[in-house]
Structure 1
């Protein structure tokens, strides 16, 4: 790790800058006249070039689309600016400002692309104009030369015609350039209007957030707190309804094609979910894994409606804020129906109440110019919410929920409700004391966070169900890696969905509480702060980028090896050891690429890295010879495969099975259970016995001696019978029962057999010994003891 940090510090970009060198003056090429003999050919070339200019500089489809869509964009921006007085009013809430920001940002996505396209076209036009000017200069010099030499009139007339064509082309190109510049100026002007509007919204938001801890209303016990509470309500509602009706009518007229496509997509989604429901019903009886997702497909209308509403944010370039709020209200209904299928009945009242609270919040938004009425509705809403949560969380009720006693989803929901209860009480207290901005900020943020949380939970369940279904039907269901690891993949997909949903919810919640901007600003400040050591600068963001890139390379490597081992290798007829070698090479290749990508992500100059790596290579070659030797030996083991994973080898008196072949060392597990780390060079340079290199056969030899006088043929037949009756003995190679010779005390025999149970050869040999002993005893054949005859020649008294 220290070497790694040192390398990063060594290659980090320097903060020092070299002095700017003076720019070299452009070299102006001299204008050379065209030779009289080449005028005809050059004139034809000029004509072809002008035709090419006219074709290439004709209005493109993109520029035509810009010209067509720009008036509509201008009208939408004018309409947005007309609403700015409401959005930027002193009584505007953070929600209204967020809606304003979203509305302005929705108008902007296409403008950078338009400006890039127009800049590229202007560059082409400028190049064409420069070439035409260069042509005109050449033909002007040529004409002067021809007149000096009294050239024929026909040649002069041809030159005049060419210059006239060039002048006409220059005029057309100049006009096209002027039109593009006018269009570019208009687009840039609209982009500037949007930029200024966003700056105004951001300034209003910062001002509003800066005043949250200031008392902006009378306390509720003050008689002036609720003066003129309902005055102007009817007028305000009429104005809002009229204005929003006009906006919706304009939206419908300007998006007829998108509305048709959206309706068709919704019908296709509904039809697909109906077909999926029938298929799930049939397969649920066969596969128990589909039972937990079958409930989702039993509500196809709700799922289709929710997916169609989600798709609307991608289909339409701009959605009016009132339509967004309407879609949110509509989305809560199918979401509620789906969530109720997966939730404990004890919390269903809370889900129903969220729909009511959402509608009340939208009414509060409409009554924003009547702050007294908004304040009264808000206090009532918070008190109802506090009472409902307190009723749901009373101990007598929770004791009847068995799942709540654990640490699962219900426990987290209860903890979130307790937190919301505390925040809502604080919001009521702040509103009662006259801190209306603070109270409505935190109280409204709690409710809005709950809405987003319900939607996120429903999205996770829908995604889980759809992914589970997709993993059981073609084409994904036919993949080998899916069939063999379906449950593990479903679990991993669920975890990813939960992480994404949680991150999305946290992002929205921070924004709703108006702390996202300062938190992220502080985080950016911490991550971009540079540690300077001399001319070397390194930031925490560089280290994080390095670490994340390395982590991603490991994740990608793991997935690639998983796909190869589970789906690719089983379909291919590969020799033993090739899959492991291919997976190992893929692993280290991806890690190597990931390392270089991580180095590049930190801003390190790869040229300096390559230079210093070459210098370090010399030192590494001398100082780490053994490591390099083992590394090269590992490559040889993986390519030549003299030893493979799963082989049983014997080296230096140690017998064991190869469990892993790494890039530097290999792991061998002995019969006693010990795991030995063997350097790869030892497996290459020293003598190694591989018992299972070409096959797993092993020969077993059992020797036995019988008493002299025993029938030799009977013993041989007995040995053959014992071997043939053992199921672990192979018929090919054939077994052999041999009479090996005359011993000192017995007739010696040997039984030689082959078995594929290499790891169990000791058990097979033991079984053969037991069977032979039992057979000899049954045949009354004696196994003699060793005997010695002593002849005593003399014994002294």
Structure 2
């Protein structure tokens, strides 16, 4: 509770300190701009005495500007390729018209949409490149405009002052050169605008084609219960291809391969970046693997052991799987053949990863899934006539049914044997798969082929999707558990319960994330992602008004998401750097430095996250002025202690007089520092109490840190012997007893000293050094050993003795001589 209060209090103050300068700056910026604009419209004439030097400077600047505005090879290449691409778009546009007339299935329509999206992305890349040069030229134009005005005024001033003709000619030539470069910049901008206009015209054509394809896809012809073909028994299998069918035939293999090479050539920079990313992935997996091999697993549960077996024994397959998976997500709108090859390779690499966790009976099912994937994908590259296509679908559905029957028969017995975890859930879906296959076969026979396509797609592609995401889940689980295991194992002391708690929480987050992505791709597979996204978007963008405040659910969710992401990032950084004995192999950092780095990074991330979250709500930060003033007044009167503790906490983190894990003594309080917070720190005493100490007390009071620079402590034992003892012998005995103890350090050596002559004993002192943790036990053991050794050697340890002498009864003559000292007793008769 106190830790969260400290965190949010410090974060609020830290954010306020960061946002206040922003507010001040936002208020002052218009004035600064006004001053700058005033100066910009009032150029100054160059004094005649400085003209020669300024002419040299301007000539160098003009050469640099002219070099920058030279058209790059990339722009020249784009200019030369625009007509070629325009011809390609025109040819493909006519191809689409024939494609639509050929009555293609829904899958081929999706492929065409993806292909035209690729054309659009290709042109958008050209447009982005040209925009970069346009922005650069705009900056150069802004820079040269004041120079143009300055040299015009300078030329006029030179004429008025009757400067020498040679100098006037040079000034005029400089002015002409400035005007020439300025005109060249404008011409280059016009050139870029013309290129951008040509690209935009092609983009308009592409958008029209995509909209036409989407309209075709959403037409009644592709509705699920649209009778697209006559029943199978009324279909003639002798129908030949029409001309439109032939023109709308699929691309040949050679054409697909050529498209892949063209894509690779146009995406050269992306390929280089992809290999850099893969290199980092490989380095991370190898690091996790070394952690598994280096640190022994001592936990009783088998999740970590299975994760270790996967990462250690399937390292190459895991690297290949992640590499192909990254390529699938890294390259967008790739040629269809390239995309299908990637999916095939992903399934092949996923096979050994998921087989590790599968029962022996189901290990071979992935081979059938890969075969069905090839069978389903082949429909993309062959144009079937309507009857042949329906026979192909019928064969595919039959093969799927046979595969399911082979691995689940008998169903009831199989369900009883496998009732646990994810496998049991999949087996329970078997009746659903049978139902979908029956629907597929019946709808195909009756002519409802749209419904047939969807049901077969669900049966085949959902299994592929499940295998891929199951492999993703197992790989991320193995990597995550390995990272946590390595982080905790390199610490000398850690809490296994805390480690397990962190593992469970992170695995829950990963499991939910993988499930969400699976659902995302499943909706995309069955063509429901677009309507679902539009439905969600309509809900999130619906405006609501409460009083004078207007908001949407999307804005609120964005606000929450930014804060949650910021908190998760800071938690991850704290997990990596806030250990008591964090050890970096590459960089050796002093003790406490990682915690200081973690504190600074976490506060900056959280502060930036709060500012970004407030900005997403549309809140004007200038409204915090009043709050800042009120807070300043509150600090002056009532928050002095809180601010003092906050600043003291920062001092403790950076000055490092104490660190988590140190044994300290302050205000008669002895214990171990557990955490240094923003406002207070927690110290665990040896009595089992956890004391919350304000940071200001640790800074302003005398503080004893027993373990700051080292962990050794000097122990002192005082002992006395009788005067009959030999001091030389006693010193020797005490030294031997101290050195014989296992915890006593050899350097510095133990020493025995004769201190003084006591009233009833010779006093000695034993001094020895031990580790602070072993101090109390060592003192007890050595004291007992000294007693035993003295007893063996008949050396007596004296104890204080007091002899009280009472006077004896005086005789009668003494009483007579001193009647006042011994009075007579009163006797009564």
Q: Partner residue of 2:791?
A: 777
CA contact (8 A) 1:449 1:508 kept: no
CA contact (8 A) 1:225 1:372 kept: no
User: What displacement does 1:509 show?
Assistant: 1.1
User: TM (normalized to structure 2)?
Assistant: 0.69
Q: Partner residue of 2:110?
A: 98
Q: Does 1:622 align with 2:637?
A: yes
Within-5 A mapping of 1:122-521: 182-207=194-219, 211-213=223-225, 226-229=234-237, 231-232=239-240, 243-244=251-252, 247-248=255-256, 251=259, 292-293=310-311, 296=314, 311=327, 320-321=335-336, 324-325=339-340, 343-365=358-380, 370-394=385-409, 404=418, 406-407=420-421, 410-411=423-424, 413-414=426-427, 420-428=433-441, 435-457=448-470, 504-521=517-534
Q: Equivalent residue of 1:111, what SS? A: helix
Q: Partner residue of 1:80?
A: 92
Q: Equivalent residue of 1:659, what SS? A: strand
Distance 1:394 1:378 in 2: 24
Distance 1:693 1:47 in 2: 63
Q: Partner residue of 1:149?
A: none
User: TM (normalized to structure 1)?
Assistant: 0.71
Distance 1:457 1:662 in 2: 41
CA contact (8 A) 2:328 2:339 kept: no
Deviation sequence 1:639-673 (CA, Å, 0-9, x none): 44444433333445433222222111111111122
Deviation sequence 1:617-641 (CA, Å, 0-9, x none): 3235434333223212323433444
Q: Partner residue of 2:752?
A: 735
The verdict on how the C-alpha distance between 1:670 and 1:421 changes in structure 2, with shifts beyond 3 A counting, is farther
The verdict on how the C-alpha distance between 1:796 and 1:698 changes in structure 2, with shifts beyond 3 A counting, is farther
The verdict on how the C-alpha distance between 1:158 and 1:226 changes in structure 2, with shifts beyond 3 A counting, is same
Distance 1:672 1:287 in 2: 34
Q: Does 1:595 align with 2:607?
A: no
CA contact (8 A) 2:148 2:179 kept: no
Within-5 A mapping of 1:648-663: 648-663=663-678
Distance 1:624 1:200 in 2: 66
User: What displacement does 1:225 show?
Assistant: 5.4
User: What displacement does 1:511 show?
Assistant: 0.8
Q: Partner residue of 1:646?
A: 661
CA contact (8 A) 2:731 2:753 kept: no
CA contact (8 A) 1:237 1:367 kept: no
User: What displacement does 1:249 show?
Assistant: 7.5
The verdict on how the C-alpha distance between 1:357 and 1:704 changes in structure 2, with shifts beyond 3 A counting, is same
User: What displacement does 1:516 show?
Assistant: 1.1
Deviation sequence 1:322-363 (CA, Å, 0-9, x none): 665566567756665776677544224432322332343245
334-343 or 516-525: bigger deviation: 334-343
Within-5 A mapping of 1:51-70: 59-70=71-82
Q: Partner residue of 2:772?
A: 758
Deviation sequence 1:678-699 (CA, Å, 0-9, x none): 2223333445554455664143
Distance 1:637 1:129 in 2: 50
CA contact (8 A) 2:752 2:764 kept: no
Q: Equivalent residue of 1:742, what SS? A: coil
Deviation sequence 1:444-489 (CA, Å, 0-9, x none): 1331222233345556778999999999xxxx99xx99xx9xx999
Distance 2:779 2:53 in 1: 98
User: What displacement does 1:107 show?
Assistant: 0.6
92-101 or 604-613: bigger deviation: 604-613
User: What displacement does 1:199 show?
Assistant: 1.8
User: What displacement does 1:192 show?
Assistant: 0.2
The verdict on how the C-alpha distance between 1:522 and 1:725 changes in structure 2, with shifts beyond 3 A counting, is same
Q: Partner residue of 1:633?
A: 648
Q: Does 1:522 align with 2:535?
A: yes
The verdict on how the C-alpha distance between 1:311 and 1:585 changes in structure 2, with shifts beyond 3 A counting, is closer
Q: Equivalent residue of 1:656, what SS? A: strand
Query: Between Structure 1 and Structure 2, how many residues are aligned?
Result: 755
Distance 2:703 2:396 in 1: 81
Structure 2, unpaired ranges of 5+: 20-33, 45-50, 160-165, 282-287, 297-304, 810-824
Distance 2:43 2:759 in 1: 115
What's the Cα RMSD here?
6.5
CA contact (8 A) 1:660 1:668 kept: yes
Aligned pair partner of 2:691 in 676, 679, 703 = 676
User: What displacement does 1:734 show?
Assistant: 2.8
The verdict on how the C-alpha distance between 1:56 and 1:93 changes in structure 2, with shifts beyond 3 A counting, is same
CA contact (8 A) 1:335 1:454 kept: yes
Q: Equivalent residue of 2:540, what SS? A: helix
Within-5 A mapping of 1:601-616: 601-609=616-624, 612-616=627-631
Distance 2:180 2:651 in 1: 72
Deviation sequence 1:362-412 (CA, Å, 0-9, x none): 45456777445434443443344234223312368976999x5642x5445
Distance 1:701 1:465 in 2: 54
